[in-house]
Structure 1
Amino acid sequence: MAARQIHDSSQNSDGPFVAINCAAIPDELFESELFGYADGAFTNSKSGGQSGLLESANNGTFFMDEINSLPMPQQAKLLRVLQEREVRPVGARKSIALNIKFVAACNHDLQEEVKVGRFREDLYYRLNVFMINLPSLRDRPDDIEPLTRHFISKLGQQYGIEVEAESLVQVLMPRFHQFDWPGNVRQLENLLERLLVSTTLYTSIGEFASRLEDLAPELFSSHLQVSLGSDAGHLQAVEKEEILKILDRFGGNKTQTAEYLGISQTTLWRRLKQMGVGKGAG
């Protein structure tokens, strides 16, 4: 949402907005996906070649989410594009000039990633022209209610559900303001989608409210509620406990666990790796 707002406010607003999740692009497809390829560039390549995502973003904005997930070889290739402002499709002889506003997002401190050798220092400084810090949802509680109203309206239109929005907000706010929101805005939207659809099962908001704990048990997990006196170590332990509990609930299925927590599978995989949890169901 922030990246699109940057695009809409830029000189390239009339151009395309192209977004990629860097963690979701397989290493072997990085060049062909981003740079494109010429006719006959490799076996089974599409006849006539194919334009890459960078070329499709020309005269617009190219948003790279979770850029800290890019492996080192891909970081070097991206750096070359940023420096030269041109891209050469795989197997092509000529390069294509680029007029693109690049926006990158990460869920880690890139300076720390540079220090430990997981992110190229030259790429970091090439990207770090202007930085915007987006605080976690738990750090901006005043945003919870307007975001809730926005998503109720948006999802209501999407699913064709008519609901007493004001009454629903009044039911949810006490619990929403106590919750820690480890999955941030994505988790808020995911949870509201579940709850809004669930309202159709009940004849009144009052009946829905009486079943809220069954519908959203995470809101009633006392160890997940914000504690101003908690230190970082305690919060990490709490997060680990909650993730393992949800993972166990879904029989080790990481896809369902990530969806339930409102985070990406890549983020969940990274958290499990940091916690030293072994491989389980996909």
Structure 2
Amino acid sequence: MNLPSVDTLVASDLDRTLIYSAAALRLGADDARAPRLLCVEVYEGKPLSYVTEAAAALLDGLARTGAFVPATTRTRAQYGRIRLPGPVPRFAVCANGGEILVDGEPDTGWRERVRRAVAAECATLDEVRARLVATADPAWLLRERTAEDLFAYMVVDRERLPVAWVKELTEWAGERGWNVSLQGRKIYAVPRPVTKSAAVAEVARRTGATCVLSAGDSLLDADLLLAADRGWRPGHGELAETGWGAPHVTGLETAGVAAGEEIARAFAEAVGV
């Protein structure tokens, strides 16, 4: 396979980092000063995710360098709904690193490598899912799903969700080789070997990249940020709320879709677009 060669990879989380739902935009109270928005995702005939027009132009330029690698917890089908500006990235990381897409097609070799590691080191998905269902309260549980037969997640009512339940689940899952992350209305339970950083490192190896830039907002992005040469996190999300940081990671004060624009600008400047 003839793969592109790049010096720098820009591997970024998508939801609440570069793209934003209407609920996550945080446009402020002054409607007249709100930025113009571009819809980048439609679901069931309705607009779902947005970037600012300025961010769209920056992402278009970044995509044309061949350096951009989306790195998302979304499944392949969920990722497939997104239409970012510019050419479609040659590589994409889905399922939190459980899948690498090359020209839109899953890399079966990587898939099997990840699943072997999970089987050797972690409790089964069935065991973890059974724990989630057995302990969740219907008063705050809205939906429960699995993704790519690899990890589980729940959509919850955040106002009713007990903090103690999340803490107990995190401790229980950690003893069995799984990580737990609360992102907006979703709780993810993901096997420890399934990481964005490992998948991005594989893409870097294939492309010959010697530098990786990254961005993310959740605890599932922490490994990606730590493994990068330079990173950014928005002023919202799990990482900001917990005060997470690292010397090479810039913690922005900006929150919402404006943070996505600021991150896109930082990427473009770093790559020289």
TM-score normalised over the length of structure 1: 0.23
Q: If each structure's strand is expressed as a fraction of its own residues, which one has the higher value?
A: 2
Q: If each structure's helix is expressed as a fraction of its own residues, which one has the higher value?
A: 1
